[in-house]
Amino acid sequence: MRLMSQIKRLSKNDIGHGMIMSLINKKSSEGKLYRKVMEHLRKCNYDLDEFFNTTDFIICMLEDNVLQKGTPIPRRLRKGIAILLEAGFIERLEALKIEGYYMPHFGVKKESRTTPLCIVFNASVKSKDRLSLNDCLLSDPNLVEALYNWLSKFRFSRYALTADISKAFHSILLDPSDAKYTGFLWCEAPNRTATFAFQFVVFSVTVSPFLLRQVLQTHLQREGRPDLLSQFYVDNYIQTFNETQSLMQEHKCTRENLERANMPLTGWTSNVRELDERMS
């Protein structure tokens, strides 16, 4: 508690980023003290919002949370970033700080054998008196039909066929000049932090569904199947039939059409037993 008594004697002008960093670094081992320190800093009217959006703070949190040894989520996070890098979806930038936008990221557990942890990038986070990336992008027109209309399709036909495009948004290249707006920090090792940026469209960005639909529309028109566009809800393929023969033929044609666009359909499901057993 000696440290806490010393902090209470500090004025606002005495408190700098370096001191806050030293206090934050005690978070893991002295959680209660950390909370008391933060309360005192707020009482001093220190602009914590400004500091909490600096690169120094983000790096500190990465080192504190990502590099915990032996915990499953950070280990899976590291593996997930490594997969993105190896696949070419992201690239490492030479500069640590960029004149663009940093996306916070976190892991979400999924009940999946192939992808037990999904890395979510948040393009809606904004700092004090500043806009987020999504605030700066157009969200209209919304070309995605209402979900209710899609669900109602299952009520009017006897058979259903569904699938989804594998890594749909990662199939669309970004203009290199836009990459700096998809930056994020990653702590590779203690005291070694790097900046990465996406080379492909990011799922959480407002315009991504629009871009995906435009790419699908362009490809399907080239294939002579513009009618297929109406069977997609974002990256999900949903179609219903009254005859099994029509379903089987459409399954084959649709799969081949999307493979030619390097956007393979996966996760096929159907209530036609013959086809469902073949796809499983």
Mean pLDDT of 93-119: 75
Q: Which two tokens stand for residue 138?
A: 């157009």
Segments of the chain assigned to CATH 3.30.70.270: 147-170+206-279
Contact 195, 96 (CB under 8 A): yes
Mean pLDDT, the chain, integer:
76
Block residue for tokens 């028109």: 221
CA distance 120 to 8: 39
138-142, 168-172, 271-275 — which one is most confidently predicted on average?
168-172
Mean pLDDT of 131-142: 82
- Least Cα distance to 139 among 80, 210, 195, 61 occurs for 210
Helix (H) or strand (E) holding 34: helix 31-43
Q: What are phi and psi of 10, to 5 degrees?
A: -80, 145
Q: What is the pLDDT of residue 27?
A: 47
Q: What is the pLDDT of residue 11?
A: 53
Q: What is the pLDDT of residue 220?
A: 93
26-30, 125-129, 260-264 — which one is most confidently predicted on average?
260-264
pLDDT digits (tens, 9 = 90+) for 87-99: 889 998 887 677 8
Whether residue 23 is predicted with pLDDT greater than 60 in this model: the reply is no
Whether residue 43 is predicted with pLDDT greater than 60 in this model: the reply is yes
**Global pTM?**
0.70
- Least Cα distance to 254 among 202, 242, 273, 241 occurs for 241
Question: Can you say whether the dihedral through the CA atoms of 180, 183, 186, 188 is positive or negative?
Answer: negative
Q: How many Cβ atoms are within 10 Å of 64's Cβ, its own excluded?
A: 14
**Fold adopted by 147-170+206-279:** Alpha-Beta Plaits (3.30.70)
pLDDT digits (tens, 9 = 90+) for 198-248: 999 998 899 998 899 999 999 999 999 999 998 998 899 999 999 988 988
